Chains A and B, each alone.
Chain A
Amino acid sequence: LELTVAHVNPPGEASHEAFNELARQLQDSNAGIELKIFPQGQVGGEKDAVEQVQIGAISMTTVANANLSAFAPSVGVFDIPFIFRDADSHPWAVVDGPIGDEVSSKVEAEAGVEVLGWWSAGMRHLFTREKAVESPADLKGQKVRVIGSPVYIDTFNALGAKATPMPYGEVYTGLATGAIDGAENDSSGYRNMRFYEQAPNYTLTGHFFLFKPVVANKAALEALSREQRAEFDRIFADVTAYQRKLAVDNFQQDIETLKSQGVKVVEPDRSAFITAAQPVIDQYAEKFGTDLVQRIIATH
């Protein structure tokens, strides 16, 4: 039996390695499942991949939470800025518990795909061309490229920047010419796309924690026998733990690499940023239910 995976991540990135690991472990097991992987956006971007999973042209994909929210608005609750304290325990306490189950079943209802698990792309941080940002005051008036998602735009406007949506492919040149003063991304995107060549100041704001939920086509999973499914789930749980750990390790490694490339890494006082973003946090908490948001924040 063949299952297919499409994703947009390059080699070395945690999700890329995790899918390779999944393929390897399935191969070695007696599940009789072969996993064929189409990495690096070969068959389309993240939203294309979700649609292809819905259709059943591809069995599964991993997608940035912000992109999944176009199909399943409920997951947007995880994209509220500064809602997660850290990148290695708070998020997992939330999604591996009852909140995760609730949100997963909402995704199935809204987008018609099954959530196999929650992977990590780590925290998103800020990088700038000229001025290293230590506090929201340094961000004032700076044009920061964000993805065209309202919560990203609102957050950066609240932080004092001028949120500027721009296609990803033009960010490098935009930084080189000064069309934008900065942008935001996780450490692997910042390193992989070589943005540090043009914007060598990396401020660890951690404004969003970015989940990478793995979603699958229901019919593709139903084609597995009960034994196959049990074996698949066992291996997948294993790989999920591997992916999350790798995401954390990669971040440490990225920071070392970036420092050795001459990048100035700033660890700012996060609370100043949180204060500035508070109106946005409140606004979106209202939208998704203050109860739910309170429960997320209170999870340990």
Chain B
Amino acid sequence: MKALANSLNWLEHRILHLEGLFIALAMTALIVDLFLQVLFRFLLDQPLDFTEELARILFAWLVFVGAAHALYHAQHFVVDLVYDALPPRAQSIAGYLVDGVVALFVLTLAWVGFRAVLSGSGAILPVLQIPASVQTLAMPAGMALMVFHTLVMLFNRRHVGDALAT
């Protein structure tokens, strides 16, 4: 059990590191892409056609991978007024209850999301001429990462919404 927990934590740290790189790269790419749009359209007088579509793809990935990263760092919005006033025992019960609902919710979205990508609308992004699933995959991918983070939290007896011990 302990060995499993250790290897899970090791894996989570690798994944967190990759998420971080991915987010920073997506932000950088977004800046470059949008700035090229301005530069080419208005300064070089040669509008680019792909920048807007690319920006929306990057944004979708940024949102859902960013949201997964935020789950680990307990950065999602919560109302903790009532929870904080509860006695420790009730907090623990509430904590597991909420963990369960969160796990079920993100698992459902990951599931229906992957199924939607697989069955596919067949849509093609008009300018880049690549499948729209390049963009729509972002949602289930982010949700799958959330499923993983939630499960590791359960293993570590840390509730969703508990600040990280530093």
Listed in ascending order, the chain A residues whose CB lies under 8 Å from chain B are 47, 50-51, 54-55, 66, 69-71, 73, 110-112, 141, 143, 148-150, 153, 162-167, 179
Alpha-carbon gap, A141 to B16, bound state (A): 49
How near does chain B come to A165, taking the closest CB pair, in angstroms? 6
A148 touches B126 (CB 8 A): yes
Is the pair B126, A51 in contact by a Cβ cutoff of 8 Å?
A: no
Given contacts A143-B47, A162-B45, contact A70 B125 (CB under 8 A): yes
Could you say which of A50, A73, A153, A166 contacts B124, with CB atoms under 8 Å apart? Answer: A73
> Counting CB contacts under 8 A, is B46 at the interface?
yes
Determine the distance from Cα of A73 to Cα of B45 in the docked complex, in whole angstroms.
Answer: 31
B53: chain A residues within 8 A (beta carbon): 148
- Provide the bound-state CA to CA distance between A150 and B127, in Å: 6
When C-beta atoms are compared, the residue in chain B nearest to A50 turns out to be B121
The answer to whether B49 and A163 have CB atoms under 8 Å apart is yes
Size band of the interface chain B makes with A: 10 to 19
Contact with A along B107-136 (1 / 0, CB 8 A): 000000000100001111111010010000
In the assembly, what is the distance between CA of A51 and CA of B53, in Å? 18
Inter-chain CB contacts under 8 Å: number: 53
Residues of B within 8 A of A70 (CB): 123-126, 132
Instruction: Jot down 6 A-B pairs with beta carbons below 8 A, ordered by A.
Output: A55-B116, A70-B123, A148-B49, A148-B52, A162-B47, A165-B127
Nearest B residue to A144 by beta-carbon distance? Answer: B47
Across the interface, do B123 and A47 meet the contact criterion of CB distance under 8 Å?
Answer: yes
A149 to B49, CA, bound (A): 9
Other than the given A47-B123, A110-B122, A162-B46, 18 more pairs (CB < 8 A) read: A50-B123, A51-B123, A55-B116, A70-B124, A71-B121, A71-B123, A73-B124, A111-B121, A112-B122, A143-B41, A148-B49, A148-B52, A148-B53, A149-B126, A149-B127, A163-B47, A163-B49, A165-B52
Which chain A positions have C-beta within 8 A of B124? 70-71, 73
Chain A residues whose C-beta falls within 8 Å of the C-beta of B122 in the assembled complex: 71, 110-112
Cβ of B42 < 8 Å from any Cβ of A?
Answer: yes
Query: Closest chain B residue to A179 by CB distance?
Result: B42
* Given known A167-B52, A179-B42, contact A148–B47 (CB-CB < 8 A): no
B27 to chain A, nearest CB (A): 21
Contact present for A153 and B49 (CB under 8 Å): yes
Assembly CA distance A55 to B116 (angstroms): 9
Q: How far is the CA of A71 from the CA of B125 in the complex (A)?
A: 9
Question: How many angstroms between the C-alpha atoms of A149 and B124 in the bound complex?
Answer: 11
A208 → chain B closest CB, angstroms: 15
Residues of A within 8 A of B121 (CB): 50-51, 54, 71, 111
Point out the residues of chain A lying under 8 angstroms from B46, CB to CB: 162
Please report which residues of chain B, range 80-106, place their CB below 8 angstroms from some CB of chain A when the two chains form the complex: none
Q: Tell me the B46-101 residues at the A interface (CB within 8 Å).
A: 46-47, 49, 52-53
Assembled-state Cα–Cα distance A112/B122 (Å): 9
Across the A-B interface, give the 3 residue pairs with the lowest CB-CB distance, nearest first.
Answer: A164-B47, A149-B126, A70-B123
For the complex, what is the distance from the CA of A175 to the CA of B130, rounded to whole Å? 31
- Which of A55, A71, A110, A165 contacts B47 (CB under 8 A)? A165
A109 to chain B, nearest CB (A): 10
Which chain B residues lie closer than 8 Å to A71 at the CB level? 121-124
**Distance between Cα atoms of A70 and B126 in the complex (Å):** 6
- In the complex, what distance in Å separates the CA atom of A54 from the CA atom of B116? 11
Instruction: Say whether B126 contacts A164, CB under 8 Å.
Output: no
Assuming the A-B contacts A50-B121, A70-B132, A167-B52, are A150 and B47 also in contact, with contact meaning beta carbons closer than 8 angstroms in the complex? Answer: no
Residues of B contacting A143 with CB < 8 Å?
A: 41, 47
Q: A148 near B127 (CB under 8 angstroms)?
A: yes
What B residues does A148 contact at CB under 8 A? 49, 52-53, 126-127
A141: chain B residues at CB < 8 Å are 45
Give Cα A131–Cα B131 distance, bound, in whole angstroms: 40
In Å, the complex CA distance between A163 and B49 comes to 8
Q: Please indicate the chain A residues that have their CB under 8 angstroms from the CB of B127 in the complex.
A: 148-150, 153, 165
Residue of A nearest to B126 (CB): A149
A73 to B46, CA, bound (A): 28
